[in-house]
Amino acid sequence: MTDSQRIQLRAIIDLNWELSQEKDITKLWEKGRELNQMKKTLRDDMGHEEYDHFMEMGRQMFLPKK
For residue range 21-52, list pLDDT tens digits in order: 999 999 999 999 999 999 999 999 999 999 99
Q: Average pLDDT, whole number, for the chain?
A: 94
Long-range contacts of 17-22, Cβ-Cβ distance < 8 Å, separation of 24 or more: none
How much is the average pLDDT of 15-26?
95
Could you tell me how many residues make up the chain? 66
